[in-house]
Amino acid sequence: MANKKTKKLTPVQQQYQQAALRRIPPRPFVKNGLRAFLVGGTICLAGQGIQQALIHYGGMNKQQAASPTVAILIIVSVILTSLGVYDKLGQWAGAGSAVPVTGFANSMASAAIEHRSEGLVLGSATNMFKLAGSVIVFGTVAAFVIAFIRLIFR
């Protein structure tokens, strides 16, 4: 496809594109991957530590500690988002900060904070669920399909 676009360009435009491509700095894949691994791993390690603390000090079993662990991670993510820390962490770590629970909480909180001046319902709630709506719908449909398949094969 890129060749088709360059064929329509004049020779001067093609020379400019080639010169511009030579000036693009190389992407630091290893550094970005290491940062993402460290931050994502640290978030997961923190979640595991919270779960182990709930099991040891809270007298819960692994299954009982799962939901409070997720809730604590969500609360911490929203607090860090509201303080502006999570966004800086996301810029530094890239995909590592998008660990499912905390990344989803960050994206919802960011949308709510960004649009709060438009009002509670039409600002925060509406824009927050523009992003989250598709995830919630897909999760609900996937859960229904899996439950239906499980019901059939029982």
Name the average pLDDT for the chain. 87
For position 92, what pLDDT does the model report?
92
For position 2, what pLDDT does the model report?
54
In a domain, 2, yes or no: no
Contact 110, 81 (CB under 8 A): yes
In a domain, 24, yes or no: no
For position 80, what pLDDT does the model report?
94
In a domain, 118, yes or no: yes
HSE-up (13 A, CA, CB side) for residue 30? 0
Report long-range pairs for 13-22 (Cβ below 8 Å, ≥24 apart): none
Which structural domain range is residue 101 located in? 67-128
Hey, what are 101's tokens?
Answer: 């629970």
In a domain, 13, yes or no: no
Q: Of residues 2 and 112, which shows the higher confidence score?
A: 112
The Cα–Cα gap between 53 and 62 comes to 11
In a domain, 113, yes or no: yes
In a domain, 95, yes or no: yes
Residues contacting residue 9 through CB under 8 Å, at least 6 positions apart: 17
Q: For residue range 56-110, what is the model confidence (pLDDT) as tens digits?
A: 999 999 999 999 999 999 999 999 999 999 989 989 998 888 887 898 888 888 8
Contact 36, 95 (CB under 8 A): yes
Q: What CA–CA distances, in Å, run from 139 to 66, 125, 131?
A: 18, 19, 13
Domains contained in the chain, number? 1
In a domain, 10, yes or no: no
Contact 96, 36 (CB under 8 A): yes
Torsion of CA 40, 42, 45, 49, to 10 degrees: -140
What 8-state DSSP symbol labels residue 24?
A: S
In a domain, 104, yes or no: yes
Q: What is the CA radius of gyration of the chain?
A: 22
